Amino acid sequence: MLRAGRPPTPQGQGGVTGPSAVAQGGSITVQVEQGTSSITVHTGGPTEQVIPVPPGGSVTIPIPNVPAGVVVVITSGGGLTKSILYVEVISPGP
Amino acid sequence: MRLDTACLVAPKPKVPSMPTRRAFLLAGAMFGVGSMIGGACGYALGATDTTSGDSKQETQIDVSAGLEPTGDSNLDFLRRLALQAPIEDLEAQSPLFLEGIRIHVGDRYLWHGMNRMADRFLARQHTKWPRLAHRVFLQTIRAADEASLPDNGLSLKRKLPELDRVK
């Protein structure tokens, strides 16, 4: 049986780690592996936001104004070693 | 002295189920012909239907052309996932695959992989996908620019209302 090669990277491990959910209009802080110069943020479309990573690797990301239920995708690195974190946007509490 | 009633009616003569040798041979011949026709039809259906569900509505994909090296090893890997890898591998690597299709949105070979995933999704067999991957799958289809999509990507995008109904 053919196996395509690289094993799957566990979500949010390796290059970028952070919370799994964020409130609408909020922001999150993610930790990025040393040596990474930038991360990208998108919601599945071609438009993406590139955010530089400061020394120390902690990046605060303002979440785009999207409806609750949308998943924000944060990636670091490139190619097949790209690390991917999915963050679910949830309704803010009462 | 006791007298018991006795039945004196003769039993019905048994009609043999296979009355003649000619009938037996005819039945055997019919069975043989039926088996041959059934087998041939089954083989023909199986040979043309290598995919299942909605992906079989795609226009024919030339798998060997899609597996030829492109000069971009990342794209080659993603195409192998889309065209050749077991569906479980494609599903396990779906976050990486969905990233790839966002970048190579015009690649019909990668959209074949999306159609394979859509089949599983519509059959509600997506429960083992990585967390939230099914939502990103839908977001990726929704956000794909129609002008850039190949025919099989466009047809999948048009199925979004059906896909959205899957919880």
Per-residue pLDDT of chain B (167 residues; tens, 9 = 90+): 666 666 566 666 666 566 677 776 877 788 777 777 766 655 444 434 444 444 555 668 899 999 999 999 999 999 999 999 999 999 999 999 999 999 999 999 999 999 999 999 999 999 999 999 999 999 999 999 999 999 999 999 999 999 999 97
Q: Is the pLDDT of residue A76 over 70?
A: yes
CA distance A47 to chain B (A): 9
Domain limits, chain B: 21-50, 53-164
Q: Is residue A85 in a domain? A: yes
From residue A12, how far is each of A18, A24, A72, A74, A81 by CA, in Å?
7, 20, 13, 9, 13
Which residues 116-135 of chain B have a CB within 8 Å of chain A? 130-133, 135
Q: Is residue A7 in a domain? A: no
CATH number for position A77: 2.60.40.10
Q: Is residue A2 in a domain? A: no
Q: Is residue A81 in a domain? A: yes
Residue from the list B84, B89, B139 with its beta carbon closest to the beta carbon of A43 = B139
Residue from the list B77, B84, B85 with its beta carbon closest to the beta carbon of A80 = B77
If one counts the domains in chain A, the total is 1
Residue from the list B74, B92, B132 with its beta carbon closest to the beta carbon of A8 = B92
Give the residue, A2 or B8, on which the prediction is more confident: B8
DSSP state of B16: P
Q: Is residue A36 in a domain? A: yes
Q: Cβ A86–B80 below 8 Å, yes or no? A: no
Q: Is residue A5 in a domain? A: no
Q: Is residue A30 in a domain? A: yes
Structural domain boundaries, residue A31:
16-90
